[in-house]
């Protein structure tokens, strides 16, 4: 019974999102640590599209396949390939072929931390509600 309560779709999605955000923080840390490494190529963790796809499948939503280039594109992906990575315009040319911009990494780190904190607070509230229900509202 408790297992079925804790394995609901929202809690599973929150757990998956927290794992993805944690991996993103690790990648950002590695990028910052290698800011002066010659030839270092930045690491990026993008999990939002995969998370959304898995949640869509879990909810029973099915995307239509576009079998012809003239078909309408999905509103969810904005008509872009979900694996597409936008070119980065923040980085100035560097002579050492290092692809890390400290400004971009710090902005991405701040955004990731805010998302992580918001998600943990939301999850804490949800688990607190479940705890109150189990205890009988004391």
Task: Round to the nearest angstrom and report the end-to-end CA distance of the chain.
Answer: 21
Output the average pLDDT for the chain: 77
Q: State pTM to two decimals.
A: 0.66
Give the total number of structural domains in the chain. Answer: 1
Contacts of 116 (CB under 8 A, 6+ apart): 18, 21, 22, 25
Contacts of 125 (CB under 8 A, 6+ apart): none
Q: Report the SS3 class of residue 44.
A: coil
Q: 113 in a domain, yes or no?
A: yes
Q: 25 in a domain, yes or no?
A: yes
Q: What is the pLDDT of residues 87-102, one digit of tens each?
A: 454 455 677 888 898 9
pLDDT of residue 32: 95
Q: 40 in a domain, yes or no?
A: no
* pLDDT over 50 at 77, yes or no: no
Q: 115 in a domain, yes or no?
A: yes
Find the domain containing 109 and state its range. Answer: 2-35+45-80+94-135
As a whole number of angstroms, the distance between CA 107 and CA 113 comes to: 10
Q: 86 in a domain, yes or no?
A: no
Q: 89 in a domain, yes or no?
A: no
As a whole number of angstroms, the distance between CA 54 and CA 40 comes to: 32
Question: Across 23-27, 49-53, 76-80, 95-99, which has the greatest mean pLDDT?
Answer: 23-27
Helix-strand-coil split of the chain, %, nearest 5: 55, 0, 45
Q: 88 in a domain, yes or no?
A: no
Please count the other Cβ atoms lying within 10 Å of the Cβ belonging to residue 82: 14
As a whole number of angstroms, the distance between CA 48 and CA 17 comes to: 8
Q: Which of 31, 50, 53 is nearest to 108 (CA)?
A: 31
Q: 31 in a domain, yes or no?
A: yes
């Amino acid at each position: 019974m408790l297992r079925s309560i804790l394995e609901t779709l929202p809690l599973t999605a929150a757990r998956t999102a927290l794992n993805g955000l944690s991996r993103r923080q690790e990648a950002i840390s590695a990028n910052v640590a290698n800011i002066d490494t010659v030839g270092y190529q930045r690491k990026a963790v993008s999990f939002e599209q995969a998370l959304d796809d898995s949640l869509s499948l879990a909810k029973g939503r099915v995307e239509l396949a576009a079998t012809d280039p003239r078909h309408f594109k999905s509103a969810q992906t904005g008509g872009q390939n979900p694996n597409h990575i936008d070119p980065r315009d923040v980085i100035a040319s560097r002579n050492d072929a290092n692809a890390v911009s400290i400004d971009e990494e710090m902005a991405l780190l701040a955004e990731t931390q805010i998302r992580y904190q918001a998600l943990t607070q939301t999850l804490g509230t949800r688990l607190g509600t479940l705890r109150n229900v189990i205890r009988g509202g004391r």
